[in-house]
Chains A and B, each alone.
Chain A
Amino acid sequence: MEINELKEQLKQQIINALNLEDLTPADIDDAAPLFGEGLGLDSIDALELLMVLDKNYGIKFHDRSQSKAVFASINAMAEYIEANRTK
C-alpha cells in the first residue's frame, strides 16, 4: 500500500475508533501532533489507539513509553506501521 493511502486509511480508522464525529480525514494534518492541543485526545484515546494498531496492523507495544513517539503525528504513525506491520 502506498504511504499516502495508508495515511488516509489510518485517519479514517482513528476517526471511527475515537468517535471524532465532527472531523473528516481532511481535517487531520499529517504533521500535526495528535495529542495535546491538536485533536484534543486524552489518555483513554491513547489506549484506544494501541488497540487500533493491534487490531488493524498486528502491532503490539510491550513498552508503553515507546508508543509516545509513534503517536506523535499521522506521519510518525504511518512510518511505524509500514516498518512494523504484521498484517
Chain B
Amino acid sequence: MRSIRFNGFTSISSGIKENNEMISAISDNIMSPLGLTTEENLRAVRAGRTALMKHEDVHGARLQESVVGSFFEELPAIEGYTAFEALCIRSVECALQGKDIDVSSKSCVFIVSTTKGNIWSSPADSAKKVAMYFGNEVQPIVVSTACTSGVSAQLTAWRLLIAKKFDTAVIVGCDVQSEFIVSGFQSFKALSDEQCRPFDKERKGLNAGEAAATLVLSSKVKGEWQLLGGSIHNDANHISGPSRTAEGSWRCLEDMKRLTDAEDLAMVSVHGTGTLYNDEMESLALHRAGLDRLPVSALKGYYGHTMGAAGLLETILSMHALDEDIILPSKGYTEQGTTYGVNLSQTERQSCGKSFIKLLSGFGGVNAAVAWTKAEAGNCGELQADRSKWEEVAEVRLSSSDNLKEIYKTAIGNYPKFYKMDTLAQLGFVGTELLLQKAGAEAESETTAIVMANHSASLKNDTDYEATISDKENYFPSPALFVYTLPNIVTGEIAIRQHIYGETAFYVLPSEDKLDVLIEATGMNPSVKTMITGWVECVAADNYTAHLRLLKRE
C-alpha cells in the first residue's frame, strides 16, 4: 500500500463556503445553424424558428435514408484545421471578442466537450490544436461522456477552478454531424422522421443536430452567473437504454436540490431528446425529486440533439433567457406524453427565480447535472470540496500479451455480456474485475466513482463500425457496434456489472500522467469514498494496454 500524493495537491480542509470561492461565467457563445452568436440564437428561439429540416445528405455525404436534422449549410474552414476544430475555434473566438480575457495564460485551461470529435483522429490532438490557436500551451482536457459531456465538462472545470489549478477555463462543446453518426442513430431506430417533439404524446424520436458552444468560467473575475457545482450518477442499468426508475437523473436532481435554494429555482433545463424512453425517464426523475411542478425548458425542437455541444448550448441559452426573465418555449410540445406531467409550454413564460438546473443523460448510463445561480448569496453548502488524501489499495496492468477472453474464462466467467463488449470495454471490465479480486473488495454502490481515460478514444471500434457502412451495396449499420463508438461505454459496463450508481467519467488525454489531476478533481466529491481509475488504451484488437488502480479515501 502506498499513499497517493497528487502533483500540486494542496491540503485545504475548509469547504467552499468558508473560502468564499465563486466560479462565474464571464463570456459565452453559441454557434449553430440558427445563428452565429448567443444573441442571434436567443432571438431565433424566441421567434419560434427551428433549424430542423429534411436532408438527403450530411455535408455532401449522401445518406441511404433521409434524415431530419439541424446542419450548417457551410461549416467554417480554416486551413490546416478540420471542420470540427474550425468550428470550435470560431466559437471560442466569438466568445472572446471584445472581452479582456487572457486565454494564453498558464492559468487558463481549455476543456473540450465532444462525443465524436473528428472520428478518425484523437480529440485530444484536436483540443491541443484549438488551444494552441489561441496561444494556450496548457494541456487541454477532452471530456467524452456521450450526451452528458457538456455538463460533465462544466463540473470538471468547476473543480479545477475551485482547487486553484487554474483561474480561467474555456469550455467548448462541439460535434459535427456525419454519415457515421446519422447512420448509427438510424440503426438504433432513435431518429424521428419529423421535427422532434420532446415530452409530447406523439413524439417519435430525436433529430441529429450540430453546433459549437463556448462558456468561459473564472474564479478571478466575478460575473453575474455563478456555477454552484454539479453531480454525475450512473444508472447501473443499461448501456443505451435509460433507467426505468430514473436512478441516475433522480440522484443528480437530489444533489442539485441541496445546492440550490428551492425558492430561487426558476426551472430545470432538461435533456428532452424526444425519444420515448428518455423523456419518460426524465419525467419520472423530476417526479421522484419532487420537482415536477417547476417550469421545464426543452430545446431540442429548435436544434435537434447537438451532442457534445448540447450541455453548453442549453446552459448558455437558459442563462440568457433568465436574464430576460423568461422561460423559453418548448417547440413540438402540445400534449402530455409521459406518465408524469412535465411543466412545459409551447409559449414563452415569465420566469420566477434566479437559479436553474441543467440536466442531461446519455449512453453508458450516465446522467449529469449542474446548478447555476445569479442570486447574491449562492447557497452552496453541501457539495463542498473534500481535500482528504487517497490511498492506492490495488493496481492491475494489462497489455496485448494478456488474452482478455482467456482471463475472462479462467478468472471471471458467468457474464455472457462480456462477449458482446468491444475490446475497450472488455479491457476495462477485465481490469476492474482483477482489481477488485486483488483488493478482496466489492465496489460500494453509492460511493464508488469510475474515472477512465485514454488517447485514442473509441478508434478501434469506430473502425469496426465504419466497416458496416463503407460498402454501399452491402450497407448494414450495426447498432451493437455503434453503441461502442463512445469511449465512455467502458465505464457504463463496469457500473452495470458492479451496481455502481456513483460518478462515471471518461477523458481523452495525450498521456496517462495527465489523468492524475482529474482523479484528484473527482476526489473532491465528498460522497466518493472509492475510485476505480484507469488508463485504458485500445488501438486495435491485438494492440491494447491498461493500467487500473483502486483508490480509497484515507
Residues of A within 8 A of B (CB): 17-22, 40, 42-45, 47-48, 50-51, 54-55, 64
* Cβ 8 A contact of A51, one of B416, B419, B476: B476
**Cβ of A51 and Cβ of B420 under 8 Å apart?**
no
For the complex of A and B, 6 pairs with smallest distance between CB atoms: A47-B479, A19-B419, A21-B419, A48-B480, A55-B476, A19-B420
**Cβ of B419 and Cβ of A44 under 8 Å apart?**
no
**Cβ of B480 and Cβ of A44 under 8 Å apart?**
yes
Across the interface, name the chain B residue whose C-beta is closest to A64.
B189
Determine the interface band of chain B, counting residues with CB < 8 A from chain A: 10 to 19
List 15 additional contacts besides A44-B480, A47-B479, A48-B480; criterion CB under 8 Å: A18-B420, A18-B480, A19-B419, A19-B420, A19-B480, A20-B416, A22-B416, A22-B419, A40-B417, A43-B238, A43-B240, A44-B479, A44-B483, A50-B189, A51-B479
Bound form: Cα–Cα A43–B189 in Å: 11
Bound form: Cα–Cα A20–B415 in Å: 11
**Cβ of A47 and Cβ of B188 under 8 Å apart?**
yes
Chain A positions within 8 Å of B419 at CB level: 19-22
Is B66 positioned at the interface, with any CB of A under 8 Å from its CB? Answer: no
Most buried by A among B189, B241, B483: B189
Bound form: Cα–Cα A42–B189 in Å: 15
Chain A positions within 8 Å of B351 at CB level: none
- Least distance between A36 CB and chain B CB atoms (Å): 15
Bound form: Cα–Cα A43–B239 in Å: 10
Across the interface, name the chain A residue whose C-beta is closest to B190.
A47
Bound form: Cα–Cα A44–B417 in Å: 12
Bound form: Cα–Cα A40–B187 in Å: 21
Is B478 positioned at the interface, with any CB of A under 8 Å from its CB? Answer: yes
Chain A positions within 8 Å of B238 at CB level: 42-43
- Least distance between A59 CB and chain B CB atoms (Å): 12
Bound form: Cα–Cα A22–B480 in Å: 18
Across the interface, name the chain B residue whose C-beta is closest to A61.
B189
Bound form: Cα–Cα A18–B479 in Å: 11
Bound form: Cα–Cα A45–B477 in Å: 14
Chain B positions within 8 Å of A22 at CB level: 416, 419
Bound form: Cα–Cα A82–B241 in Å: 32
**Cβ of B416 and Cβ of A48 under 8 Å apart?**
no
Name the interface residues of B513-547: CB closer than 8 Å to any CB of A. none
- Least distance between A54 CB and chain B CB atoms (Å): 6
Chain B positions within 8 Å of A19 at CB level: 419-420, 480
Residue interface mask B407-435, A partner, CB < 8 A = 1: 00000000011011000000000000000
Chain B positions within 8 Å of A17 at CB level: 480
Most buried by B among A40, A44, A50: A44
Chain B positions within 8 Å of A21 at CB level: 416, 419
Chain A positions within 8 Å of B480 at CB level: 17-19, 44-45, 47-48
Please name 14 pairs of A and B residues whose Cβ atoms are closer than 8 Å in the assembled complex, sorted by A: A17-B480, A19-B420, A19-B480, A21-B419, A22-B416, A22-B419, A40-B416, A44-B420, A44-B483, A45-B480, A47-B479, A47-B480, A48-B480, A51-B476
Chain A positions within 8 Å of B477 at CB level: 51
- Least distance between B149 CB and chain A CB atoms (Å): 21
Residue interface mask B61-73, A partner, CB < 8 A = 1: 0000000000000
Bound form: Cα–Cα A18–B238 in Å: 16
* Cβ 8 A contact of B478, one of A40, A42, A51: A51
**Cβ of A44 and Cβ of B240 under 8 Å apart?**
yes
Across the interface, name the chain A residue whose C-beta is closest to B468.
A51
**Cβ of A47 and Cβ of B189 under 8 Å apart?**
yes
Chain B positions within 8 Å of A54 at CB level: 476
Chain A positions within 8 Å of B188 at CB level: 47
Across the interface, name the chain B residue whose C-beta is closest to A47.
B479
Across the interface, name the chain A residue whose C-beta is closest to B481.
A48
Bound form: Cα–Cα A45–B75 in Å: 36
A19-B419, A19-B420 known; A51 vs B187 contact (CB < 8 Å): yes
Across the interface, name the chain A residue whose C-beta is closest to B188.
A47
- Least distance between B430 CB and chain A CB atoms (Å): 15
Chain A positions within 8 Å of B241 at CB level: 42-43
Residue interface mask B398-413, A partner, CB < 8 A = 1: 0000000000000000
Across the interface, name the chain A residue whose C-beta is closest to B483.
A44
- Least distance between A19 CB and chain B CB atoms (Å): 4
Across the interface, name the chain A residue whose C-beta is closest to B408.
A21
Chain B positions within 8 Å of A64 at CB level: 189
